[in-house]
Every structure is written in structure tokens, then in C-alpha cells.
Amino acid sequence: MIRPHGTILIDSLYVEDSRVRADRLEEAKTLPKLLINSSAAANLVMLGAGYFSPLKGFMDKADAISVAKELHTRQGLFWPIPILNLVQDATDLQHGDRIALCDPNIKHNPVIAIQDITTVETLTEDELSEIVQNIYRTSDSDHPGVETLLSLGRMIVAGPVEVLSYSYFETDFPDTFRTARQIREQIEANDWSKVVAFQTRNPMHRAHEELCKMALDSLSADGLLIHMLLGKLKPGDIPADVRDAAIRKMVADYFPNDTVMVAGYGFDMLYAGPREAILHAIFRQNAGCTHLIVGRDHAGVGGYYGPFDAQTIFDDEVPSGALNIEIFRADHTAYSKKLQKVVMMRDAPDHNIDDFVILSGTRVREMLSSGKPLPPEFARPEVAEILMRYYKGV
């Protein structure tokens, strides 16, 4: 099986032993408490689940700046986005403190992790602006990722962590949330050698379905991991439980048996385009996948990135040998009225835009909200029905 990023999967940050975990929770009652933000909580879940292997905790300022500017830590680990515990005020904390981190996403804010602090540092406005610009290629506060990062604070609390909870992901999505090791174990149990991953934060329509089938066929892959984001999205995006139901229905009805694994991960969407595409590749490599589908405007939002920037960054900014996982480069896919099937638009040079069935996200939401069926060329009727029920209840 493909080796993890950094050779060995570091997933021991989550305290598996229930007795040890109970001891840590008891210890946490005596420790200073820090209520973290949702972004830091999501980072903890990803650290505990092994997706951020080989990281062992939150980065300090020097590593954050190095990663943002140079795509590697000071020790030379290739990494695309700083993994931080940013807070508004940490003036009462210092090097050597052991603190309990409290989950902002669960009622009463239970302890999610214990952190041993190595440094407490403050980013200057210029340093924060530079990090933002390098990650997002924009400083526009209308960008949802930029807006979030600028809102988190400028104080960095760095240091290794022991993760005591997977927040709400395990309880809310017991059939879907999986750690990197759990996915690796399932891939091994399936006897899959070549595995292609599909990242999604949306329900899957016909174009997505056919894209996955194209990748499976083109790569002669043994299996497909449909790996959905379960964390926070921007307003207007469809909730994870609805997406989960729609995707599972599509897989059950339209994919061959035993070729698809549906799983989810506990992370908040960054909308960082090219940089986030690299991060997606790293944690799919950690989960045992050999390939990641990177399509048009992967992890993008609005018009902030070129349509294929998330592909070309692997050529321009990922050093040779830095990753073992490979990408499957996809164009926009749509139903061709001429050919009466879904195709990659680049493979139909004789078509114009009117030859395809293409609906904007806004138009899809309008149709679903008003109870109008989506065209069968765009969405499977069983999937559209699940989405329609959701929109009728909004």
C-alpha cells in the first residue's frame, strides 16, 4: 500500500485507550482551559485521525510563515497550509504550560484535547497579511476563507497535543466519519491496490458520478473513495447529512457492488483552491489512496482562482518526490445533448455551451426550492428527490 506522507502514519495523537483517556479527562479538570475556535477544533480532529500525519500538534510562528511562503516547515517537511491554534487572547499562557482545549462546536464546550505549549507568539498585521496572501492568493475579505482566517485572532499557541475527542463527527456521522487508519484497513480488507479518491463538499450529480467512473476506468483502479467533508461550509451550502444520504443513494443505485467506499472527514472547508488541493492530496495519501481526482476549480470559490490552478500547482510548486499520491486531471464534465452522455468538455471540441446541460448552483437551488424536478441529464432522480425534500423544509 502507498506509504503515508512522511513515511509513517502518525495517528497516535488520539488517545485510544479508554482508561488513559478517562485519566486525561480527569487531569483536564485541573488544567487551565482555553476555548478554541472551530478551525482549531477541526485541525485537532484531523491531527487525531491521522490525516495530518506526520504533524504532532500546532505549528509555531516560524513554521507557519515558512509553510505559507515556501510550502515546507523549517525542518523541510513539505506542507501547503499552516496548521494553527490561533486565538484572540493568550496573554495568560506561556511556554511549558499544559492546558485543556475546549470544543466550541458542542454544548457546554467539553475538553477535546490537551496541549503542551512550546511557544505563545503574536503575528504582526503584516505577517498575518502575508500568510493570508500566500495561502489564498488574495487578501479580499469577501473570500470566505480569508474572512475566517482574519477573524481567528493573531496569537499563536503552538505545541504537541493529545486528542481526546473527535468532536461531533463520530456521534453525528457514525456510519461515515472514518480515520485515515480505518480507511487504510478497509482498503486492505477489500484487497484494493490502486485507489482513486474523490473530494466533495456537495451532493454528486451526474457529472460527478461519470467523472468518478471515468477515473476508475482510465486508471484501471480497483476502487473509489468518495470522501466528503463533514465540517463547516459557507452559508448556502448543503448540510453534510443531506449530502451523505444523496451520495449513498447514488452509489447504491448506479455503481457496481464493492467498488466504492463512502467516508467522511472532520474538517472545515478552507476554499483555498490550489493550496487546499495539495492538502487534500496529503490526507488522501495518508488514507491509503494512490490517486486524487483534481477537477476544474478544485476547492475554489467565486472567481478567485483560474479553472486549472489546482492542477498546475502540482507541476509548478510541488517538488519532485514530495508526494507519492498522483492526481487525475479532470476537466469540467457535463451532459452532451449531441452525444447523449456525460463527457469532459475538453473532449468535445465541436460543442458550444448550448450543446451541454449545465445548471448553476443558484439555478439548482431555485429549482429544488420551488419543487421543480432537475433534468435527468443533470441529476439522478433518486438523488434529486432527496435534495428536493431538504429544500422544501428549509
**Residue in 185, 12, 162, 187 with CA at minimum distance from that of residue 101:** 162
State the cell numbers at 84.
494553527
Q: Where are the alpha helices (DSSP H) in 154-205?
A: 169-172, 180-189
What are the backbone dihedrals phi and psi of residue 58, each rounded to the nearest 5 degrees, phi first? -85, 140
Looking up cell 447529512, which residue turns up? 241
Active-site residue (options: 21, 98, 154, 202): 202
Reported in sequence order, the residue ranges of the chain that DSSP labels E, i.e. its strands, are: 33-35, 57-58, 86-87, 98-102, 111-116, 119-122, 155-163, 195-200, 223-229, 260-265, 291-294, 326-329, 333-336, 341-344, 356-357
- The contacts of residue 83 (CB under 8 Å, 6+ apart) are 43, 46, 47, 52, 55, 58, 59
Catalytic: 190?
A: no
What are the backbone dihedrals phi and psi of residue 98, each rounded to the nearest 5 degrees, phi first? -115, 120
Catalytic: 109?
A: no
Active-site residue (options: 137, 201, 243, 296): 201
Which residues are tagged catalytic?
201-202
